[in-house]
Amino acid sequence: MKDPRVVTLQVTSLAILAVSLAFYPAKTPEVLKSAWNLIPKPPMWAVKFSAYLATVETILGYTVRAESRFCNTDLTNQLDGYNQ
C-alpha cells in the first residue's frame, strides 16, 4: 500500500521495534511473545468459513462479469471475430 498513513504507521512500528531491540535486546522478544498471546485467535471453523466465502464470492463475481459480457452483443461479436 502506498497510502501515506499506512506507510507512516509501518515505519513508526519498525522504528519502535528497532529501538526496543537496540536498548533491550533480551527483553524485547519476551514482550513481543506476551503481546502476541493477548491477540485473540479465531476458531478454525471461522477461518475455513471465511476462506469458503471468499472463494464463492470470487467465483460468483467472475460468473456475473462473464454473463454481463455475454449480454453485450457488440462485445460478444467482437470477441468471436464477427465484424459488422
68 shares its domain with 49? yes
Q: For residue 5, count other CB atoms closer than 10 A to its CB.
A: 8
pLDDT tens for each residue of the chain, 84 residues long = 678 888 999 999 999 999 999 999 989 889 889 999 999 999 999 999 999 999 999 999 999 988 887 777 776 677 666 655
Domain count, the chain: 2
Q: Which residue in 29, 19, 17, 27 sits closest to 9, CA to CA?
A: 17
Contact 75, 82 (CB under 8 A): no
Q: Grid coordinates in use for 67?
A: 454473463
Domain that holds residue 47: 42-84
Would the pTM count as exceeding 0.85? no
33 shares its domain with 65? no
Question: CA-CA-CA-CA torsion for 7, 31, 35, 17, nearest 10 degrees?
Answer: 0
